[in-house]
Structure 1
C-alpha cells in the first residue's frame, strides 16, 4: 500500500467516524474532506470542486425545485387527501398506498426529490389522522429508496453505475433494466414495513395537538360560531344589486357581517366600495342576540345555499382566522369596533370577543374594548399575516394550525403536473439529457407562476448537495492511488473461487456496509469500478456486477446518513441514528437475498461478445 493510498483511506475512515457520531454535521464533514483531499496531492482543488458542476448534482437540485412547485400549487396536498380518501380508516391500506405512490412517482424522478415532496404529504396525513409522523416518515424514505431500483433515472447511483459501464466501453443499461428488481423489492418492502412499524418510536401524535396550535374547529366550538354562518345568493330583484357594500349597510340594519363574496366561482374580499351583483354568493356571519336569518333573506331578497363545512371551514384556503389581544398601549381601548373602523383598518372582521375566560355572546359591534380583550378575527390570509407587523395596537395571540396548509400558489396544480409530465416524458424519450429536461421543467414552472427564484433557491436542500459533492473526490483519489484495483484484487483472492452467488452477495454487502456511513451516490462512485474490474477478472459479464452495486447503493436503509432520502425524514420523524439501524438492517438483508437470487436469473453472466 502506497503512502498516498494510506492517507486517503485515513481521511475516508475519519469521515466515516464523524458521520457515525454525527459531529460535526454531515455537510460540514463533507466540506472538511473536500478541503483536505487536495493536500494529499492525489487530486487538485479543481477536481475536488468538480462535483458542483456534475450533471447529476444539478439534476438533483433541479428536481428539488420541481418538487417544491408541486407542494406550493397543492399537488402534494391533493395526493395526501386522495390517499386518506382511498384508505379510509385503515392504517394498513394507507401505508400500502403511500409506499406504492412514492415508489411509483420516484421511478421517474430523483428519490430525494420525491421524499422532499412526500414529507409534507406525510405530515398532512399525520395531522389529519392523529398517527405519529414517525410511523410514516421511514416508510416514505424506504419507498423512495426502493423507487431508485425501478428505472435508470430514478436515482443518482444508477446513473453513476451506468456511466462507469460506458466509461469501460460497454453499452449502458436501458430505462427499464431495473424495473423487475424494483417491483419485487417494493412488494417485500410494503410487507416488511407493515410489520416493522411497531419498532418505530411512537413520538408525538400528529395533528394540531402535537404542534400546540389551535384549529379552526377549536375556535368554532369555543366562540360558539356554529349556526351563525350563512351562505346566501343575491337574487335579481334584491335591493343589494348595483349598490356597494358600504351602501348596503347590512350590519347596521340586520347585524349581519359580510365575510366574503363568491363571484363566478372565485372568492373575493368585500371592501366598502365593492359593488354587489346579481348572482353573488354572500358569506355572512349573523352575530346578534336574537338572529333571524329568515328576516335577513326577506329584507334583501336572498336565496339560502348549503354549507359543507362548519363556519366556512371548507373555504380555509381563502378565509383565515386568528386570535389577537388588545394590549395596554392600544389606541383601540375605549372604542367600539364601529368607532375604530376595525374592518377598514385591518381588512378583517371581528366574529368573537373573549374577556378573561368568558366569550361574550351578545352583539359586539358597539362593545367598548378594554385592555386584555381577546378578539377572534376572520378574513383573507394575507390580512391575517399582516397582523404580525403592528404590535402596538394588536398582538397576535394564536394562529391556527390550518395556516400551515394554505397554498402559496392556489389554482396552478394542473400546470405543475403538466410541467412534471413534460419532464418525465423528455427523460423517458431520451431526446435531451435528463438534467436539461429537469431545468426546462423548472423554467416552465417559473414562467407559469408555480415557483419564483426566491422559493426555488430555498427549495434546494443545500446540505444534501454539499454532502454528495464533498464525497465524490474520494472515488478519484482511490482510483489514482490504486485503491480500486487493490479492493478488486483482494475480493478476487478472497472469494474468486467461491461461486457467482457468493461474489454477488459479497459485493452487495460491501456496498451496503460502506453506504451505512457515506452517501449512496458516493458509495456507487467507489464500488462501481471495483465491481466492473472484478467481473473482468472473472471473465464474466459486467452487467450483473454493476446491477448488484446499483441495487445495494439504493438499499441504503441502515443509517440516516446512508442517503439524502433518509436525512430528509430524520427531523420530521424525530428519529435517532439507531432507529434506522434497528429497522434498516433486517430489511437490507432481505433485499440482499432477493437481489442475489434475481440478478443472475435476469441478467446474462456470460461476457458480451466483442
Structure 2
C-alpha cells in the first residue's frame, strides 16, 4: 500500500484532531472547525466541500431534534413520564434495576441521553433511599440504559442518524451510476437489533452485573435529594446559618456588598439579605414624592452591587468564629431566624441546585475565585461534593475536578442559564419547574407533537429531516418554547462537531484512503464470513467511543463501512448497523459519555467501577450484535 502526499496530509490532520480530542487541550468544536480550515488551506477540499457538512440533512435533523427534546424537558413532560413509570418500581433491588433500565431506555429512545439521566437521577436516588439500597447499585444501570435506549430508534442518538444519512448519500452516487438504490434506515430498523441489546443488558445487570456493582453506602444526608428544600437540608444549610442585623452606626451601612470584603477576609458567604418595612415611592408631583411603607419582609438575593442598609439582616454561612469576628468588628447583632426561613431561602424566584462538572468543563483545574464564579454567573456556591472525598473540599481554595458537584444558589433563571453551557455544567433535576410562569401547561401539547412526529416516522409518511423540522416548528408556534429557548436547547458544540468532521469523511474518500482501507480489508478477509467484518467494525467503534465522541467516531467510520461493503459486494446495512451500535457502547470509563459523568458523583463511583461492569457488557453487546445483525440485515 503506497500512500500519496495528499493521503499523508489527511492522516496528519486526522491524527492531530484525534490527539486533541483525547487530551482535550482544545474544545472539540474548536478542533472540528480547525479540521475544516486545515482541509481547505492544504487544498485537500474546496471551500464548498469543506463547509458542505453544515448543510447536511443529518446535521439539520439533529438540530431540530434538540429543539423537540428541549420542549420535552422544559415543559416537565419527561419528568412526569419518568416518575409515573418509576412509581411501579417497588423496593426489590433486582426489580428496581429492571424497571429503571427499561424506563430510561424508553425515554432515551426519543430524547437526549443526558437529558433523560439528568431528569431521572434525583428520583432514582430517592427510590434508593426509600428501598434502603445504595445508589451505587442503581446509577450505573441508569447511565448504561440511557446509552442502550438511544441505540433502539433512528432518532435516539446522532450516530444512528449519521448512518441513515450515509445511505442517502450513497444512493445519490448510485443513481448517478445507474445502480439500484439502497433502502434507507427507518425508525424501527434500529429496534430490531437495539431491543435484543437492551434485553441482554438488562438481564446482565439484573444478575451478574449487580454483583459487580460497588455497594457504597453513604449516610442518608449524602444522598441526592429530590427537591430544593431537601437539598438545603442535605448540605446542612437550613440549620447552619447565622442571622446578623446591621446596626445604624455600622460601617457596612451604605456600602455595596462587593466592597465589604466579607467573603475574602472572613471566608463567609452572604446567602440572603432580609430587609423590612421599606419606603417605596408610588407617585411624584414635581419635587414631591408620595411614599408608602411596605409591610412584612423583603428577601433579597445578594449581588456585588447590592447596597446594605441599616437594620438589614444578613443570612450568613461560614465558621462560627469567623462570623463572631465579623459581628464584633462591624457592629452587627445576632438575630433569631425568621419564622419563614425555609420558605424564603428557596422559593419561586430564588433557589438552589446541584451542577456537575463534565470532563471537558473549562472550570477544571481552576478555583472558583480564578473563574470569578459569582460575578460571571450571578450565583453563589454554597458547597462542593467530590466523589470519594471523606471531607468536603474548601470552597475558597480547592482546585475543581471533573465530577465535582457544586451546590449553587441564586435566581432560578440564572441557574437555568447554566443549562445553556453544556460543555461546562450539567444541571441536576429540573429547575425550570420551579420558575414562575413555567411552561408545564404546555406538556400535553409537547406530548402531542412528539407523538405525531413518531407516527409520521413509523409509517414513513415524511422523510426524517422533514418530520423533525415540522415538529420543531410546531414546538415554537404552539409556545412550548420561545425562539430564544429553541436556540438555547440546541447543543451547538455537537452541531459544530458534526459539521466539522463530515468534511474529514469526505477528505478520506477524496484522497483514496477509504478505498485503500477497504481494499486491505478485502485482501485480508477474502472469502471469509462477513460476520468477521461486522465484529471488527463493532469492536473498533466501541474502542474509539471510549476516548472520542461517539458522533465523531460514527462520522469517520461510516464511509469506510460503505466502501468495505462495496468491495466485498455485500449490502452495507449490517456494517453500518455494527458501527451505529458500537458507538453506543460507551461503558468502560466515566469519561466515555456525559451520562457516565453525571452519575459518577451521586454514586460515589471510582474509575475502575465502570471498567469492571462496562467491559463485560461490551462483550455481551459484541456477541449479540454479531449474531443478530446478519439475521435482520443479511449480507
Residues 434, 571 of structure 1: CA spacing in aligned structure 2 closer, same or farther, 3 A cutoff?
A: same
Contact 1:509 1:592 in 2 (8 A): yes
Q: Using the alignment, how far apart are the partners of 2:275 and 2:551 within structure 1? A: 66
SS in 1 for 2:88: helix
1:569 offset after TM fit, Å?
4.4
2:567 matched to 1:567?
no
1:78 offset after TM fit, Å?
1.9
2:230 matched to which residue of 1? 215
Residues 427, 35 of structure 1: CA spacing in aligned structure 2 closer, same or farther, 3 A cutoff?
A: same
2:623 matched to 1:593?
yes
Q: Using the alignment, how far apart are the partners of 1:546 and 1:399 within structure 2? A: 46
1:496 offset after TM fit, Å?
2.0
SS in 1 for 2:51: helix
1:424 matched to which residue of 2? 454
2:99 matched to which residue of 1? 97
CA displacement, residues 48-101 of structure 1 (integer Å, 9 cap, x when unaligned): 333333222232223222222222222222234224421122343233222212
Contact 1:80 1:122 in 2 (8 A): no
Q: Spell out the pairing of 1:164-563 with structure 2 (5 A cutoff).
A: 164-166=166-168, 167=170, 168=174, 169-194=181-206, 195-196=208-209, 198-199=212-213, 215=230, 326-328=245-247, 341-343=294-296, 372-375=335-338, 376-377=340-341, 378=343, 381-382=347-348, 404=431, 406=434, 408-558=438-588
Q: Using the alignment, how far apart are the partners of 1:154 and 1:222 within structure 2? A: 40
Residues 138, 325 of structure 1: CA spacing in aligned structure 2 closer, same or farther, 3 A cutoff?
A: farther
1:340 offset after TM fit, Å?
7.1
Q: Spell out the pairing of 1:575-590 with structure 2 (5 A cutoff).
A: 581-590=611-620
Contact 1:519 1:561 in 2 (8 A): no
2:115 matched to which residue of 1? 116
CA displacement, residues 88-121 of structure 1 (integer Å, 9 cap, x when unaligned): 22343233222212322344x35xx243233222
1:533 offset after TM fit, Å?
2.9
Root mean square deviation of aligned Cα: 4.6
Q: Using the alignment, how far apart are the partners of 1:49 and 1:424 within structure 2? A: 31
Contact 2:509 2:515 in 1 (8 A): yes
- Counterpart pick for 1:23 among 22, 25, 29: 25
Q: Using the alignment, how far apart are the partners of 1:474 and 1:209 within structure 2? A: 45
Contact 1:520 1:553 in 2 (8 A): yes
CA displacement, residues 339-362 of structure 1 (integer Å, 9 cap, x when unaligned): 975438669xxxxx99999xxxxx
Contact 2:73 2:115 in 1 (8 A): no
Residues 81, 324 of structure 1: CA spacing in aligned structure 2 closer, same or farther, 3 A cutoff?
A: farther
Contact 2:20 2:26 in 1 (8 A): yes
1:141 offset after TM fit, Å?
4.1
1:491 offset after TM fit, Å?
0.8
Q: Using the alignment, how far apart are the partners of 1:587 and 1:2 within structure 2? A: 40
2:66 matched to which residue of 1? 64
Contact 1:8 1:477 in 2 (8 A): yes
Contact 1:471 1:522 in 2 (8 A): yes
Residues 185, 436 of structure 1: CA spacing in aligned structure 2 closer, same or farther, 3 A cutoff?
A: same
Q: Using the alignment, how far apart are the partners of 2:95 and 2:72 within structure 1? A: 24
1:384 offset after TM fit, Å?
5.0
Contact 1:67 1:114 in 2 (8 A): no
Residues 3, 88 of structure 1: CA spacing in aligned structure 2 closer, same or farther, 3 A cutoff?
A: same
- Consecutive unaligned residues in structure 2, runs of 5 or more: 175-180, 255-272, 279-291, 301-313, 321-331, 353-379, 383-407, 411-427
1:12 offset after TM fit, Å?
1.6
Q: Which shifted more, 590-599 or 508-517?
A: 508-517
Contact 1:8 1:40 in 2 (8 A): no
Contact 1:132 1:204 in 2 (8 A): yes
2:328 matched to which residue of 1? none
Q: Using the alignment, how far apart are the partners of 2:17 and 2:5 within structure 1? A: 19
CA displacement, residues 6-53 of structure 1 (integer Å, 9 cap, x when unaligned): 121122222222323333343333333233222221123443333333
1:139 matched to which residue of 2? 141
Contact 2:517 2:560 in 1 (8 A): yes
Contact 2:274 2:297 in 1 (8 A): no
- Consecutive unaligned residues in structure 1, runs of 5 or more: 225-321, 348-352, 358-368, 387-394, 606-610
Q: Using the alignment, how far apart are the partners of 2:155 and 2:539 within structure 1? A: 23
Contact 2:186 2:460 in 1 (8 A): no
2:57 matched to which residue of 1? 55
SS in 2 for 1:412: helix
Q: Using the alignment, how far apart are the partners of 1:16 and 1:578 within structure 2? A: 24
Contact 1:196 1:583 in 2 (8 A): yes
1:474 offset after TM fit, Å?
1.3
Contact 2:545 2:583 in 1 (8 A): yes
Q: Using the alignment, how far apart are the partners of 2:187 and 2:315 within structure 1? A: 63
2:311 matched to which residue of 1? none
With the length of structure 2 as denominator, give the TM-score of the two structures: 0.64
Q: Using the alignment, how far apart are the partners of 2:490 and 2:574 within structure 1? A: 34
Q: Using the alignment, how far apart are the partners of 1:178 and 1:16 within structure 2? A: 28
2:393 matched to which residue of 1? none
SS in 1 for 2:441: coil
1:86 matched to which residue of 2? 88
Q: Using the alignment, how far apart are the partners of 2:142 and 2:316 within structure 1? A: 46
Q: Using the alignment, how far apart are the partners of 1:511 and 1:354 within structure 2? A: 53
Q: Which has the larger radius of gyration?
A: 1
Q: Using the alignment, how far apart are the partners of 1:460 and 1:73 within structure 2? A: 16
Q: Using the alignment, how far apart are the partners of 1:355 and 1:493 within structure 2? A: 73
